[in-house]
Structure 1
Amino acid sequence: MHDNLIEIRDLRVAFNGREVVHGVSLDIRRGECLALVGE
């Protein structure tokens, strides 16, 4: 049994026609904290 609250597979994001995120996968489980910081 998985306690994942969020599962993301092969995420891709484009901004103004340019791919800025390519192929990101992650799991966030119950009780975990995650911070994504970028510039």
Structure 2
Amino acid sequence: MGIKSHVFSLTNKRALIWGALFGLFALGGYVTMLAISS
């Protein structure tokens, strides 16, 4: 139980980091599109 929860927290952190990176990338692309179109 303890090891399983530890592994889950590790994968959860990794998913959060990748989610944040993808969110920043998507936001940057969206802002760039707005800047180009305006």
Class of the TM-score when normalised by the shorter of the 2 chains: under 0.3
Q: TM-score, normalized by length of structure 1?
A: 0.18
Relative to its length, the structure with more helix (as a share) is 2
Q: As a proportion of its length, which structure holds more strand?
A: 1
Q: Normalising by structure 2, what TM-score?
A: 0.18
